[in-house]
Amino acid sequence: MDGSMYGYMKVGIIHFMAYPQVMRGEGPILETLARIAEDDYFSAVEVTWMKDPEVRRQARDLLEAAHMTVAYGGQPRTLTTGLDPNSLDDGERAKAVATLKEGIDEAYELGAVGFAFLAGKYPGEEKEVAACQALEDSIRQLCAHAKARGGMPVVLEIFDRNIEKKSLVGPNDIALRIIQNVRKEYDDCGLLVDLSHLPLLGQTPEEALIPVKDYLMHVHIGNAVVADRSHPAYGDAHPRFGIRGGANDARELAHFLRVLFDIGYLGGDEHRVVSFEVKPLQGEKPEIVIANAKRTLNEAWARLGVAG
């Protein structure tokens, strides 16, 4: 491989993490989205719910004019509301599925190419099997809803099990089993692996990526702090690369990218999306954190021995 990274992938960024004030579907959505759309470093952007239909219409026009690939993150729809798609309470689970279906509808409205979400809380060993079955049923409902609208991929993100999100789908062996079961009926579903979550899971890129390579549909890149519980960015906070006490910087990102090439996620005819998931800490400017991420990817790419 040689040349520019854009010959191999679409570089994306998660809008609602870089600008967390829009995470609840309100706030300066169009203004901040325009800042990303004006930056030609990015070929893709991930958005989330936008409660105002007029804002959604203008966002679609903006992104279409910018010629960007769009993906939809449904995670805030459950994280900010406490809804759980693997709840053993049928009524509560139905509410979670309903808001995620609404997210799929919005994703189509925005011209998105995929819809991502996360599992709910890990309920403990005694209830794990039942929770997995509940989650599988929820995913089937989401896949059926997406298929009825045109077959948009539904992507389950792997989170941590023990530190912050404490998700049912933390270990990738559970993620793999769930998706394999759903794939018996729906092939437009898969998994999302985030470099930021590897330190929380205690995994290397090989351990995180190789077992799920046949089901990997999307990738995030970012940093995490796990060594110091008193650190303001401890846990699943997605701080800037290079932060004191952080686990990931250019070297770790280069390693992750190398494994993505090794498993075939990158390097094929299709330019797959690799999106930054970075979030400013209190007092930090989003634009500085975004610039940090771009510099880090540039250095990581250079470490791969690729010119350009």
How far is residue 146's CA from residue 232's CA, in Å, rounded to a whole number? 38
DSSP-assigned beta bridge partners for residue 252: none
- Going by C-beta distance under 8 Å and a sequence separation of 6 or more, which residues neighbour residue 123? 86, 88, 130, 131, 168
**Of 24, 18, 60, 20, the residue nearest 42 (C-alpha):** 18
Read off φ and ψ for residue 13, nearest 5 degrees. -150, 145
pLDDT at 233 over 90: yes
Q: How far is CA 85 from CA 61, 233, 257, 307, in A?
A: 32, 27, 31, 44
**pLDDT higher than 50, residue 131:** yes
Do residues 183 and 215 touch, judged by C-beta distance below 8 A?
Answer: yes
* CA 211 – CA 180 distance, rounded (Å): 12
- Give the mean pLDDT of the chain: 96
Whether the Cβ atoms of residue 123 and residue 168 lie closer than 8 Å to each other = yes
Cα-to-chain-centroid distance, residue 303:
24
Give SS3 for 106: helix
**For the segment 20-78, what is each residue's pLDDT rounded down to a tens digit?**
999 999 999 999 999 999 999 999 999 999 999 999 999 999 999 999 999 999 999 99
Q: Which two tokens stand for residue 196?
A: 């930021």
pLDDT-based confidence at 308, cuts 50/70/90?
very low
Q: What is the model's pLDDT at position 307?
A: 40
**What tokens were used for 88?**
């053993």
Q: What pLDDT was estimated at residue 135?
A: 98
pLDDT of 1:
56
Mean pLDDT of the region 76-94: 97
Specify the DSSP class assigned to residue 231: S
- Please state, in angstroms and rounded to a whole number, the distance separating the CA atoms of residues 234 and 256: 21
With a CB cutoff of 8 Å and minimum separation 6, the contacts of 66 are 37, 38
**Domains by residue range for the chain, with CATH:** 5-303 (3.20.20.150)
pLDDT above 50 for 171: yes
Residue 301 pLDDT > 70: yes
Interval 97-107: pLDDT, tens: 999 999 999 99
**The pLDDT of residue 79 is above 90:** yes
CA–CA separation, 290 and 42 (whole Å): 11
| Alpha-carbon 178 to chain mean position | 18
